[in-house]
Amino acid sequence: MTVLSGCGDEQSTPPVAADISRPALILTLQPQGVSQTHFTGVVRSAERAELAFKQSGKLATMVAQEGNKVERGQVLATLDDAELKTALDSAKVEYKQAQTDFDRGNKIFSTSQAISRSDLEQLKVKRDLAANKVSKAQQDVDNAIIKAPFDGIIAQKLVNNFATVQPNQPIYVVHNPRDLEVMINVPGKLFLEPTSGQHAIAEIEGLADQRFNLTYRYYAADADPISQTYQVVLGFDDPSSAPLLPGMTAKVYPLMDASAAAKSIMVPIDAVVPSNTGSQFVWLVGQDSTVSQQQIKVGNLLGSQIQVTEGLSAGDKIVVAGVHALTQGMKVHPMNAEESN
């Protein structure tokens, strides 16, 4: 049976759902080159020192406190040096008398030889010993002062003022915060001799969503006899970019070479959707602007991003926000400023 309809009976056909384009936040993927293997390390200052007196004594002053900035040559602590200065004054008097005796004996020997050469030598030896005593006493006075060896920060104050300290007992620990590094322990089975210019990425505990560029500095050629690991040290390229402090824990991710980097992709963790089968997928945007589920395998979590080891390539476009509202075959377009409000 044929049905005829006139112009007045024409009805508009409802749009097909697939033709409706939904605004979406779309990301074009770039290679990241982050290794799947990571190492836990500790932030430390490359320039650090434990300061101690070379002799025992009672502390007289401690002018620096933990956290204080200090300048090179600044006096940080002193010992009670009253007895030391008395010893120095006595040594100077003894030296002055010995020098006078030698000068008198040398003059007599030169003019009349009324004293023997051996007597003159004894006077000279006595004068020299007195000079050494003065030098030692002066050194003891000088060693009763601790000065900052470089510009830095007092990391630790290990004793209280007026305490009696022993030779080489640490008093302060000073760090240079402008030159920080990370020390990691690499298992022997994973250790390959690094070369100059190798780089890594660090994630610092307590500084979420921040990444820090590292550059290899040096390594210990001998493995630890117990853990069989090698110490590797990497320096921060820009330690002033965040409030980094020695002692912070770091996760270090080595950067791959160019060929391996091309296969390593990082995506926002919010873009990854778990499937009912226990696998994971992202919404891949095709050339026709429709989305489809792309199964992936993931690696390391780095801040708010996760590494994709299989399933994606550089140049792919994925949806990174509102992924739970998408369906297979839905059309999307890049979100503009008005649609994001």
Q: What is the pLDDT of residues 267-322, one digit of tens each?
A: 888 899 998 888 899 999 999 999 999 999 888 776 677 888 888 887 889 999 88
Task: Cite the residue boundaries of each domain of the chain with CATH code 2.40.30.170.
Answer: 35-46+179-255
Banded model confidence at residue 19, pLDDT cuts 50, 70, 90: low
The strand pairing partners of 216, in sequence order, are 234
Residue 228 zone, left/alpha/beta (φ > 0; ψ -120 to 50; rest): left
Q: Which residue has the higher pLDDT, 36 or 61?
A: 61
The CATH code of the domain at 19-32+259-341 is 2.40.420.20
For residues 308 and 129, the model is more confident at: 129
- Exposed/middle/buried for 199, CB within 10 Å: 0-12, 13-18, 19+? middle
> Which CATH number is associated with domain 35-46+179-255?
2.40.30.170
d(CA 1, CA 9): 18
Q: Let me know: does 171 contact 165? Beta carbons within 8 Å.
A: yes
CATH number of 82-142: 1.10.287
Residue 245 exposure: Cα atoms within 13 Å on the Cβ side: 11
- Model confidence at 263, pLDDT cuts 50, 70, 90, reads low
Q: Within the chain, which residue ranges are assigned CATH 2.40.420.20?
A: 19-32+259-341
> What count of Cα atoms within 13 Å lies in the side-chain half-sphere of residue 250?
30
- Segment 87-115 shows an average pLDDT of 92
Between CA 79 and CA 58 the distance in angstroms is 6
Per-residue pLDDT of 212-247, as tens digits, reads: 999 999 988 888 888 888 999 999 988 777 788 888
For the chain, give the mean pLDDT. 85
**Residue 294 and residue 311 in contact, taking contact as beta carbons nearer than 8 Å:** yes
List the one residue out of 188, 254, 199 whose CA is nearest residue 36.
254
Contact between 127 and 101 (Cβ < 8 Å): yes
Dihedrals phi, psi of 110, to nearest 5 degrees:
-75, -35
Neighbours of 267 (CB within 10 A): 21
Q: What is the mean pLDDT of residues 321-336?
A: 87
- Dihedral sign (CA 72, 75, 77, 83): positive
